[in-house]
A and B are shown apart, each in its own frame.
Chain A
Amino acid sequence: MEENQVIDTVDTGIVIFDREYSATYWNGWMAAHTQISENEILGRSLFDFFPKLKNPRFLRSCKAVFAFGNLAFFPQDPYGYLFSMKPVEWFRSEFKFMQQSCTIGPIRGEGKEIERLFVSIRDMTEEAAYKKKLVALTLNDELTGSYNRRFLMNFLEDELYRCRRYNRPFSVIMMDIDHFKKINDTCGHPFGDEVLKLFASTVVRNMRKSNRFARYGGEEFVCVLPETDSEGGVGFAEKIRKLIEELPLSYKQSQVKITSSFGVITYTDDINDIATLMKKVDDALYKAKESGRNRVVVAN
């Protein structure tokens, strides 16, 4: 009797269902968070109330637990949630649905046969939001809000792997603001910072959603363009170059013109690692600088 009280009030959702996926138990937590009462759902299929639950992965997992008596896990990362319901703090949550970590396990009858399964559901919304924030903190550049070098290197690693595996193109642009040291020296660091921010926002505003833009160091930035060939990469670099050149900047009432230089590289299968890729694009950028700045050079 005491156990029942605990199961009904504990801050975990507990659902029990049979081989036909009909609910045979629905605890207080579930009722409270789904607005579906025990009376409504008992004896009815879970799929009547949660149609999305009827997906191959959930069904396979249940079959496996029936067959092997193991536990099947649906952790928040990567699955998000199993039972769609609003987050408790729906009015200020960044998630549309409560993030959950769920576990499915066997319930055996007297003859040791598995007759029913249970699912336990834990609310992970707050943890997921916290994790998201932490991840953002470790992967973003504080000043410009763009990704940082750590993120970039990981992303490039994945991208290179993906390209080799699925044989897809991708391009990388390395960009650098010309004579940035001089800007800092003559106009001061606060102005320099504004230039960096403006540069970053100009690129981000104009790039595709699948592109990734990161501050590589000082006044150097890198943009990764998945699914983009050399022509696309150069085109985008040219576009940014012109936009930067035309930025209406002024310091103490006098106009300040800034320019930038670009190195572009497109993946070819002789590039085996990120170090080689970065070396080549860096060389291209160096050539752009050397040959007069405010231009785009393609790596060979």
Chain B
Amino acid sequence: MMIIPNSTEVPISEDEKDILQEVMNISFGQVAAELAEIIDVLVVLSVPNVTVVPGKDFQNYLSKKLKLSPPFNVIEQSFSGKLSGIAFLVFSSESGKNMVAILDEEGGEDGIQGIDQLEKETLMEIGNMLTGACVGKIAEQLDEVVYYTLPRVILNSSSSLIDLVDKDSVVILVKTEFQFADNDVSGFLFLITNQDSFQWLKEALHRYIEQF
């Protein structure tokens, strides 16, 4: 295991970061293509951005960098295996509503009592699909298999985002912006991984580039 004495130190070389970036590009590009086929709308995933953030600055980073103002929807999901961590999707409540409209042709007929329920179902489905696809594709590129837990949907969260990060840890953050159907739905996907997993990831990246 790698020990990082100074939390601002980046535990990844520029070369490794480049490879990771390219693996992400490829993975997310494939995800966009296949997802578009499944849900039948144009899907755009931005070039993923890899950042290392000290745990104590995480909350601050989210509110400053994301400029997302509450209320928003959050979908949290853990994954485990050699590549392990937490994925979470964040998007505005407005986007959540639009997502229901995109996916459920017959949506809305449930009346007022049904809207939250419908939204929850849709978000759980799409969140699971998006994280599963992104994490799965990265793992696939690196020849690994990942296990997932049940996603957790938090509707209209207005409080501070999440307390899932240990203040003393280092968070390896992969951020991507996604858009469905010409902007009707957009948000962020974060992958947070721990240092053990990151060590494996680094080795896998070297193996990856060697195969060409």
Contacts and interface: CB of A to CB of B under 8 A. Distances in A.
Interface stretch (B60-68, B122-130, B194-202): B122-130
Given A78-B124, A210-B112, A70 B104 contact: no
Contacts of A72: 125, 128-129, 132
A61 interface: yes
A32 to B, nearest CB: 26
Q: Determine the main DSSP class of B at the interface with A.
A: helix
B112 A226 contact: yes
A168 interface: yes
Nearest to A209: B113
A64 B133 contact: yes
Chain B CB count within 10 A is highest, among A60, A70, A75, A162, for A70
Contacts of B128: 70-73
A210 B34 contact: no
A90 interface: no
B57 interface: no
Nearest to B148: A71
A56 interface: yes
A43 interface: no
B121 A161 contact: no
B150 A67 contact: no
B150 to A, nearest CB: 5
Contact of A161 (B37, B133, B137, B156): B156
Residue among B31, B105, B150 facing the most chain A CB atoms (10 A cut-off) = B150
Interface string A71-89: 1110100110000000000
B124 A61 contact: no
A105 B156 CA distance: 30
B151 interface: yes
A133 interface: no
Nearest to B115: A162
A64 B115 contact: no
A189 interface: no
Interface in A54-73: 56-57, 60-61, 63-64, 67-73
Interface string B96-124: 01000001110000001101110011001
B70 to A, nearest CB: 11
A231 interface: no
A112 B144 CA distance: 11
B85 interface: no
Contact of B129 (A61, A75, A227): A61
Given A67-B34, A78-B120, A227-B112, A60 B125 contact: yes
Nearest to B79: A70
B112 A56 contact: no
B117 A64 contact: no
Contacts of A166: 112, 115
Interface string A27-67: 00000000000000000000000000000110011011001
Given A56-B105, A60-B38, A70 B129 contact: yes
Nearest to B139: A69
A88 B125 CA distance: 28
Given A60-B38, A60-B39, A161-B156, A71 B132 contact: yes
Contacts of B31: 68
A72 B149 CA distance: 10
B93 interface: yes
B38 A63 contact: yes
Given A78-B117, A168-B112, A227-B112, A67 B133 contact: yes
A69 B133 CA distance: 8
B140 interface: yes
A68 B39 contact: no
A168 B136 CA distance: 42
B81 interface: no
A165 to B, nearest CB: 7
A61 B121 CA distance: 12
Interface of B: 31, 34-35, 37-39, 71, 93, 97, 103-105, 112-113, 115-117, 120-121, 124-125, 128-129, 131-133, 135-137, 140, 145, 147-148, 150-151, 156
Given A67-B35, A70-B136, A78-B120, 12 more contacts: A56-B103, A56-B104, A60-B125, A61-B129, A69-B136, A70-B133, A70-B135, A71-B147, A72-B125, A73-B128, A165-B97, A210-B112
Interface of A: 56-57, 60-61, 63-64, 67-73, 75, 78-79, 158, 161-162, 165-166, 168, 210, 226-227
7 contacts: A68-B132, A70-B128, A70-B129, A70-B132, A73-B124, A73-B128, A166-B115
